[in-house]
Amino acid sequence: MRHTDPDRLVLIALGDVQATPADRAHLASCAPCGEDLHALRQTAAMARAARPERELPMPSAAVWDRIAAETGTEEAASQVVSFDTRKRRTRRRMIVVAAAAATLGAAGTVGVTTAIRADDPVPRAVQERTVARTTLDPLASAPPAAFGEVAVVRTESGVELRLRMSGMPATDGLYQVWLYDGDATMIPLGVLSGGSAAMPVPDGVALEDYPIVDVSAQRLGQQEHGVSMLQGTLR
């Protein structure tokens, strides 16, 4: 499995770039990458929480030398001279160093936190946490090789279901995603387009009451539930 590039994880954590459907699919299925992204977002959140101390002076060259030595960065610390003249490059380096320092312990974290508090503002990163996952297995109406993956993510704006499927046949209609209580009630979430989608879970819908994710084949214009193709139970 090819993992997400660490630099890209940093930019996603900061909100400098948006995760693509491929990024989301990988992060939903790869626990190490998902955990790394969560840790990076926590690092950025701690830096933003320190806003009252943003006016601290620029760290000395000795601090930068120690950070460079501990993180293996090749650029000399003395070259980091101004947030005004090298804003974009320096900000990216500071956050990459912050991500590395998260694994070095308290001593490394102190110096890095000071760097993040400098005058170049850090963009607001969306706080996300995966609260449930499942794989979707093919039912009798689907090809045996059909497969799906689901992650339910809590974001600042609400709960979102992210789904990716593969091996499904082309259809004259569409594929609809539902939450199912396993008895008689199904809640439509949205339509899959291109094999993947991210769709909000309606407010007030408890996933413990609707733990089954169902993908159905629908005729165009069909309002009621169609033919179930993939299903899985959130855990």
Is pLDDT of 87 > 60?
Answer: no
Q: What does the pLDDT look like over 201-224, one tens digit per residue?
A: 998 999 999 999 999 999 998 989
Q: What does the pLDDT look like over 16-69, one tens digit per residue?
A: 778 888 888 888 888 888 878 877 876 766 655 544 444 445 555 666 666 666
Q: What does the pLDDT look like over 132-149, one tens digit per residue?
A: 999 999 999 999 999 999
Q: How confident is the model at residue 7 (pLDDT cuts 50, 70, 90)?
A: confident
Percent of the chain with pLDDT over 70: 63
Q: How many CA atoms lie within 13 A of 31 on its CB side?
A: 4
Q: Rounded mean pLDDT of 153-165?
A: 93
The number of residues making up the chain comes to 235
CB 198 within 8 Å of CB 192: no
Higher pLDDT, 48 or 3: 3
What is residue 212's predicted lDDT score, i.e. its pLDDT?
Answer: 97
Alpha helices in the chain (DSSP H): 6-14, 21-29, 31-49, 61-71, 87-101, 106-116
CB 1 within 8 Å of CB 22: no
Q: Rounded mean pLDDT of 220-230?
A: 94
72 vs 80: CA distance, rounded Å: 16
Closest CA to 40 of 64, 67, 6, 2: 6
> Could you give the domains of the chain?
6-116 (no CATH), 129-233 (2.60.40)
| Assigned token pair, 75 | 């650029």
Is pLDDT of 81 > 50?
Answer: no
What are the counts of helices (DSSP H) followed by strands (DSSP E) for the chain?
Answer: 6, 8
Number of Cβ within a 10 Å radius of residue 167: 14
Is pLDDT of 131 > 80?
Answer: yes
What is residue 174's predicted lDDT score, i.e. its pLDDT?
Answer: 94
Is pLDDT of 94 > 70?
Answer: no
CB 46 within 8 Å of CB 114: no
Closest CA to 9 of 30, 28, 23, 25: 23
What is residue 63's predicted lDDT score, i.e. its pLDDT?
Answer: 63
Average pLDDT, the chain: 75
Closest CA to 12 of 30, 28, 1, 24: 24
Q: Rounded mean pLDDT of 74-92?
A: 45
What is residue 1's predicted lDDT score, i.e. its pLDDT?
Answer: 64
132 vs 234: CA distance, rounded Å: 6
